[in-house]
Homo-oligomer: A and B are copies of this chain.
Amino acid sequence: MSLVAPVIEEEPSTLGSQVYADLSGLIMRGELSPGDKLSLRSIALRLGVSMQPVRHAVDRLVADQALEVLPNRAVRVPIMTTARLEEITRIRIAIEGFAVEEAAGAWTPADMAEIERHDGIFRRECRKRTPDLARAVMANRDLHFSIYRAAALPSLMPIIEGLWLRVGPVLNLDMRASPERIKQGAGRCHADMMAALERRDGKRARLALTADISGAAEFIVSRGILP
């Protein structure tokens, strides 16, 4: 698994952290669907390691609610309900909105260069006739996190990563199902956000991000596939 989330920067020295990176990448990329049950032994066998590193990884994933333990003590990807998605969406708007507003006032030229680089990658991918959804998802995530990182609040990053880990499965399900939505919805919001950021207009940047987040959430809810 080399397509591991570069957003999460750890010491990949230990086997356990490596398994964590593998599993969190699987979840954030939506390759694990809500409701999927995981078996520690199966994972250990598939990854060619013992059960110990897998337990380390699963413990951490459960800690930030990217996985959940059933009363049976089995562990699965949490099923996303409409109520749960709307709740997390409100939280994301509050927290990530705060992050962009801070970023608008704090970004350095190096930050902005990085942000524009990811924005370019995302736009280029979306303009293709047959966009690579996986690459678009990754570019979108990199764009958002490069902005949040410009807020210079490192303690905030793991919190936002936790939120993305929770919504990852359904967001990617969304993108995969309807590639054309990201072209218009996300594209428009991103353009507004970029413009506001460059003007250091925190309020407008926050509004654009709010539109981005709630737009995606409303689209998923409107599809009616959530319990």
A: residues with CB less than 8 A from B are 11, 55-56, 59-60, 63-65, 69, 71, 84, 87-88, 90-91, 94-95, 98, 102, 153-156, 158-159, 162, 166
User: Cβ of B158 and Cβ of A91 under 8 Å apart?
Assistant: no
Specify which of B60, B71, B154 is in contact with A60 (CB 8 Å cutoff): B60
Q: Contact at A84–B159, with CB atoms within 8 Å?
A: no
Q: List 17 A-B contacts (CB under 8 A).
A: A11-B69, A56-B59, A59-B63, A60-B60, A63-B63, A64-B64, A65-B158, A87-B153, A87-B154, A88-B155, A91-B155, A91-B156, A94-B98, A95-B95, A98-B98, A155-B166, A159-B159
Residue of B nearest to A99 (CB): B94
- Residues in B with CB closer than 8 Å to A158 are 64-65
Q: Which secondary structure dominates where chain A touches chain B?
A: helix
Copies in the complex: 2
Q: Which of A69, A94, A156, A158 has the most chain B CB within a 10 Å cutoff?
A: A94
Given contacts A159-B159, A162-B159, contact A91 B153 (CB under 8 A): yes
| Closest beta carbon of chain B to A19's beta carbon, Å | 12
What's the minimum C-beta distance from A139 to chain B, rounded to whole angstroms? 26
A181 CB to nearest chain B CB (Å): 25
Residue of B nearest to A154 (CB): B87
Contact A94 B91 (CB under 8 A): no
Contact A153 B63, beta carbon cutoff 8 Å: no
Which residues of chain B have C-beta atoms less than 8 A from A64's C-beta? 63-64, 158
- Distance of A74 from chain B, by nearest CB (Å): 13
> Is there an interface contact between B90 and A153, defined as CB atoms closer than 8 Å?
yes
Residue in chain B with minimal CB distance to A62: B60
Write out the residue numbers on chain B whose beta carbons fall within 8 Å of the beta carbon of A102: 90
A155 to chain B: which residues have CB within 8 Å? 65, 84, 87-88, 91, 166
Separation in Å of the A123 CB from the closest CB of chain B?
Answer: 30
Q: Which residues of B contact A90 (CB under 8 A)?
A: 102, 153
Min C-beta distance of A91 to chain B, whole Å: 5
